[in-house]
């Protein structure tokens, strides 16, 4: 199974590193919930590679240098480090896209081992509460809702036409149920937000990028 979360990370350009929230305890849109204590990252940390769009046939684009459970926030945190410049061209492309805000989603692949039913006040089952899951894969992903971002990045000179074609070729590897996207909670941002409102925020961010580079929407 995959869980998709909007990146709320910190980019350290000098170290080519992202500090990201890989998961939290908020229920997703299927009303499934993964408790922080449920995560088993042992096997992942033996080979902590970061893929692009779940493409296990290609080379990794980065690695996780640190995985931490923050029980104060209920978040699974991850430091993601990219190779030095010119080590791997695709990795350089992805890092520039992340740094400039054109890629902003992280997807974690996990195997659910044990869970309890989540019920509403009437006792009806509404989802699962995972009490044991194994993390087996992490990807930086381009999602369909942000498909236009690659075009903007190309036109703004952030990536070349060749890099644009390479990135577009990876889009077919995405196998994510968009209903599993985790939207920011009221605790994260201070107010409730609907999927439609979030889409409008994303669209506005893209418009801001267009204006920054003198482009039209």
pTM over 0.85: no
Question: Domain range spanning residue 124?
Answer: 2-212
Can you give the pLDDT at residue 214?
Answer: 55
Asked if residue 172 is part of any domain, the answer here is yes
**pLDDT score of 92:** 93
> Of 17-26, 72-81, 151-160, 185-194, which gets the smallest average pLDDT?
185-194
Q: What is the domain count for the chain?
A: 1
Q: Write the CB contacts of 8 (distance below 8 Å, at least 6 apart in sequence).
A: 20, 21, 184, 188
With respect to residue 217, please indicate whether it lies within any of the assigned structural domains.
Answer: no
Lowest mean pLDDT among 8-12, 18-22, 107-111: 8-12
Q: Are 131 and 38 in contact (CB under 8 A)?
A: yes
- The set of residues, in sequence order, having a beta carbon less than 8 Å from that of 95 and lying 6+ positions away, is 16, 62, 82
Calculate the alpha carbon distances from 16 to 39, 160, 167, 178, 207 in Å.
Answer: 26, 20, 19, 29, 26
23-27, 87-91, 189-193: least confident range: 189-193
């Amino acid at each position: 199974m995959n869980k998709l979360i909007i990146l709320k990370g910190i980019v350290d350009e000098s170290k080519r590193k992202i500090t990201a929230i890989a998961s939290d305890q908020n229920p997703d849109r299927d009303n499934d919930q993964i408790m922080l204590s449920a995560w088993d990252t042992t096997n992942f940390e033996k080979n902590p590679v970061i893929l692009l769009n779940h493409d296990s046939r290609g080379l990794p684009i980065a690695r996780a240098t640190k995985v931490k459970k923050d029980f104060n926030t209920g978040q699974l945190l991850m430091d993601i480090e990219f190779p030095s410049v010119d080590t791997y061209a695709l990795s350089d492309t992805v890092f520039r896209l992340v740094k400039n805000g054109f890629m902003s989603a992280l997807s974690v692949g996990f195997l659910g081992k044990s869970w309890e039913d989540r019920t509403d006040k009437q006792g009806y089952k509404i989802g699962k509460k995972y009490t044991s899951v194994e993390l087996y894969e992490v990807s930086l992903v381009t999602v369909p809702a942000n498909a236009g971002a690659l075009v903007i990045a190309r036109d703004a000179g952030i990536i070349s036409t060749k890099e644009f074609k390479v990135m577009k070729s990876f889009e077919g590897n995405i196998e994510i149920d968009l209903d599993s996207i985790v939207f920011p909670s009221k605790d994260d941002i201070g107010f409730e937000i609907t999927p439609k409102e979030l889409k409008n925020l994303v669209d506005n961010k893209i418009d801001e990028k267009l204006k920054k580079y003198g482009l039209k929407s």
